[in-house]
Amino acid sequence: MAQDILFDLDGTLIDSSPGILASFARVLAAHGLAPAVPLEASLIGPPLAVTLRQVSGITDEARLAELVEAFKQDYDTAGYLGTEVFPGVAAGMAQLAAAGGRLFIVTNKRMVPTRRILEALGLAQFFAGIHTRDETAPPAVSKAAVTKRILARYAVDPAQALFVGDSGEDAAAARENGLRFIHATYGYGGAGIAAAPDAVLRHFTELPGVVVALSRRACATTERP
């Protein structure tokens, strides 16, 4: 079952919506703003500035930058503590790691809260690499670009690797880099999946079995005359 597996974070391994939405609400209130759209879990996933533009309705770049910094301060000190791990994630990660798999994080979330959350939840130990768009200057243009960098840095063979995520952006990152994609349908972004995934994950506890099934399918295809 040893595999190189790349994981999205929000909506795939963790339910970060309570903390994120609480931080959005506090920041908007502190700036005298009412939410321009309902504060709900479907907002989670895109880069911070994109989401803040949506929830605030603000288009002025200077005011938007002020909101971004206010959100970072609130979320990095208080909001991230509201994060919950999805059921079965800790045991599933331990099983995959014990089987010899290399596991990676690829996320739009900033590095500071990403590491704090993974450490607080006891998950950081399972990953060979934790990678975000903001770990480089300038930040990576997309999650697909971060994925490409991971493949090169760790000599990952795309044909032997998997990407687990909940959104259309995750599916695109997998497709653009030649990875098989496992769709976590319990996450936030299921409506954005345009093409059929290689496998569907309805509950994280199913993942080790899904990985085995995909590995057997790949071996069977390779061995055909």
- From CA 105, how far away is CA 13, in angstroms rounded? 10
The model's pTM is 0.89
Same domain, 67 and 126: no
State whether residue 5 is helix, strand or coil.
strand
Catalytic residue annotation: 8
Same domain, 51 and 106: no
State which of 59, 82, 105 marks the end of a domain. 82
Same domain, 117 and 21: no
State which of 31, 53, 82 marks the end of a domain. 82
Give the CATH number of the domain where residue 174 resides.
3.40.50.1000
Same domain, 10 and 23: no
Same domain, 191 and 95: yes
Same domain, 123 and 137: yes
Residue-level pLDDT at 192: 62
Total domains in the chain come to 2
Work out the number of other CB atoms within 10 angstroms of the CB of residue 185: 14
The structure tokens listed for 217 are 């399918």
What is the phi/psi pair of residue 102, to 5°? -95, 130
Residue-level pLDDT at 224: 45
Residues 6+ apart with CB under 8 A from 224: none
Give the CATH number of the domain where residue 60 resides.
1.10.150
Q: H-type helices in 78-167, by residue range?
A: 89-98, 111-120, 143-153
Same domain, 29 and 121: no
State which of 52, 82, 112 marks the end of a domain. 82
Residue 36's domain spans which residues?
Answer: 17-82
Same domain, 133 and 34: no
Instruction: Report the chain (225 residues): mean pLDDT per 10 consecutive residues.
Output: 87 94 96 96 86 94 95 96 95 92 94 96 96 96 97 96 94 96 87 82 94 80 49
Same domain, 125 and 219: yes
